[in-house]
Amino acid sequence: MASSFNFGAILLMTLLAACFSECFHFPDKAQLELSDVLNKNCGVTAYEDRDRPPYGRFQETPWLALFYYPDDTVHFCHGTLITPNHVLTTAVCANNVAVNDTIIVLGEYDLSTDQDCEGIKCADSVQKRLVKSTTVHPDYNKDTFENDIAVVILNMDVALSESITPICLPLIKFEIGTINQPNVYNTLWTTEARPQQHWMRYVELDECNKLVGDRIQLHEGQICARSFNNKTIEMIGGAGSALEVEYHSRTYQVAMLSIGILDAEPGTPYVYVDVTKYVKWIHNMVKNN
């Protein structure tokens, strides 16, 4: 059964890749059906703009998750909902999680209000969950930040709505650094009540290594991006936030913020986990849990 599935998946991927080069159709069917646990009811909001505003809009990024310690009012990490029961985050964040103690909040938008509204439309209350368990990538290296990725299992499923929706993952890789690809955004809460949406541009790994090489040596599975306008971005508490692209009316997470260089000059790249390299691992973790 497994071998026939693998052969069929490979054949489907080959055919769709050929079509993409000829007719420029994004392989939506494969992205939504190659996994039986990921990309279900994912990545959809009311917004399909190519250019996002600097501040996130009401229910624009309903997959964002915030990590809190019980007595704190400020989050210490981000994550993204990938199923009603699983949150993707970094290994650094997961290693700072206390099982049955750390609180994960979903459905948040404006941190200054108890209930988020726009006009006469109001969202349901945020949903808070405890962490049941965490799975950190077995090859995570705390010195080089290689394989800085983890899956967190919630103690109870969240109820999906317009305010809480999983993000899609790229089951078939698509390049974000080439021409004619959609804009890439890193959306996260920093010191503002509403999430900020930073327009980013991809930085080739060789160039990134030259820019940050005196502080950290980058490896396969890590990619870099910097502010499109060469701004310095406040990233404290932003680890685990998604690098997102909108394509064919769905939002995909192509990477995840791992580290920022302290005291960096404006325009210095930030280091991200290349989510496309870990889709099989993520699928297996979710499938087995």
Q: What is the pLDDT of residues 31-45, one digit of tens each?
A: 898 899 999 999 999
Q: Are residues 5 and 148 in the same domain?
A: no
Does the residue 70 lie in any domain?
yes
Does the residue 240 lie in any domain?
no
The CATH number of residue 152's host domain is 2.40.10.10
Q: Are residues 160 and 284 in the same domain?
A: yes
Q: How many domains in the chain?
A: 2
Q: Are residues 103 and 145 in the same domain?
A: yes
- Which range is least confidently modeled, 24-33, 76-85, 121-130? 24-33
Q: Are residues 284 and 147 in the same domain?
A: yes
Q: What is the DSSP letter of 235?
A: -
- 3-class secondary-structure state, position 93: helix
- Which range is least confidently modeled, 81-90, 143-152, 158-167, 211-220? 211-220
pLDDT at 207: 86
pTM score of the predicted model: 0.87
Instruction: Identify residue 265 by its one-letter amino acid code.
Output: E
pLDDT at 20: 37
Q: Are residues 159 and 18 in the same domain?
A: no
Question: 87-121 in b/e burial notation, b at 16+ Cβ within 10 A?
Answer: bbbbbbbbebbeeeebbbbbbbbbbeeeebeeeee
Q: Are residues 81 and 2 in the same domain?
A: no
Give the residue numbers spanning the domain of 146: 64-166+280-288
User: Can you tell me the mean pLDDT for 2-30?
Assistant: 47
Instruction: Identify residue 64 by its one-letter amino acid code.
Output: L
Neighbours of 260 (CB within 10 A): 18
Q: Which helix (H) or strand (E) is 274 found in, with range? A: strand 270-274
Q: Are residues 98 and 157 in the same domain?
A: yes
Does the residue 226 lie in any domain?
no
Q: Per the structure block, which two tokens stand in for 68? A: 């809190």
Does the residue 154 lie in any domain?
yes
175 closest CA partner among 240, 252, 238, 231? 252
158: left (phi over 0), alpha (psi -120 to 50) or beta: beta
* Predicted confidence (pLDDT) per residue in 127-153, tens digit: 999 999 999 999 999 888 999 999 999
Whole-angstrom CA distances from 58 to 63, 68, 163 are: 13, 22, 8
Query: Tokens 């250019």 appear where?
Result: 51
Q: Are residues 130 and 7 in the same domain?
A: no
Query: Tokens 């349901």 appear where?
Result: 124
Does the residue 133 lie in any domain?
yes
pLDDT at 18: 42
Q: Are residues 69 and 126 in the same domain?
A: yes
pLDDT at 21: 38
